[in-house]
Amino acid sequence: MSDGRVSVVSKVAVVTGAGSGVGRAVALELLESGWSVVLAGRREEALAETARLAGGGPPAPVVPTDVTGPERVEALFAGVRERFGRLDLLFNNAGSFGPRGVALADLAYEDWRSVVDTNLTGAFLCAQAAFRLMRDQEPQGGRIINNGSISAHAPRPDSVAYTATKHAITGLTKSLSLDGRRYRIACGQIDIGNAATEMTERMSAGVPQANGEVAVEPVMDVADVARTVRHMASLPLEANVQFATVMATAMPYIGRG
């Protein structure tokens, strides 16, 4: 029985932050569905583990990349062009929450800047490089999917840097979607709430709520996020999921605060 997957052997994707969490899950889902996937991220060993987990099929290229560095990002996408000749999908996923439990008034400039550089500037640099490749290739076009967050809609306490950058990702998504029309470049955003990854392990011990209490929050299988990204990626370029929200059903987001 078919599971709805479409063979897309000729299609090429770049996944940033592919060494863990959502990035790893999405990379594995795409690889299993027949995509050629370039694994990008800061930690080479973690990327290699993702490649090993993929099992059979052509090996996934591992490209250690710091998305905050313009030269490193340019090298990543130049390598994609040289190896594959084109790019069909960028899953713009690399990100950082920053220091936890630090009040807005106490947040160091260096910590603010680190989150902005990774979550916003890094996402822009990767999107810009992918945009150029997709614009100039033949046939023209491709898709960019940005990883937003529930925080793009409603913040958690003491999360000013993360929340500000995720709101900014929404602006990046809209601008890319508009500016990409003439080049058949589609851009959408997935906002994720409480996927079970290393980042959300603390949910089981309780996390601060808007009313000052600490509460355990439910999580969902990260594989459900990966399947959603795969669906978004599999659409023809004439169709686009502009915004998708995938969340643990009972998490305190609707009605937060």
pLDDT by residue (tens digit) across 123-141? 999 999 999 999 999 999 9
Class of domain 12-247: alpha beta
DSSP structural state of residue 56: S
DSSP string, 76-138: HHHHHHHHHS---EEEE------STT--GGG--HHHHHHHHIIIIIHHHHHHHHHHHHHHHSS
**Residue 133 neighbours by CB under 8 Å, 6+ apart:** 77, 80, 81, 86, 87, 142
Q: How confident is the model at residue 256 (pLDDT cuts 50, 70, 90)?
A: low
The 10s digit of each residue's pLDDT in 170-198 is 999 999 999 999 999 999 999 999 888 77
Give 9's pLDDT tier (boundaries 50, 70, 90). very low
> Is 162 in the active site?
yes
Active-site residue among 109, 162, 183, 253? 162
Q: How far apart are CA 172 and CA 174, in angstroms?
A: 6
| CA-to-CA separations, 187 to 120, 142, 170, in angstroms, rounded | 16, 9, 11
Q: Pick from 74, 101, 99: which is nearest to 14 by CA? A: 74
Residue 99: CA atoms inside 13 Å, Cβ hemisphere, count? 13
The ranges assigned to domains in the chain are 12-247
pTM over 0.85: yes
Residue 73 Cα distances to 80, 82, 246, angstroms:
11, 14, 28
* Segment of 3-17, 139-153, 206-220 carrying the highest mean pLDDT: 139-153
57 contacts 9 by C-beta, under 8 angstroms: no
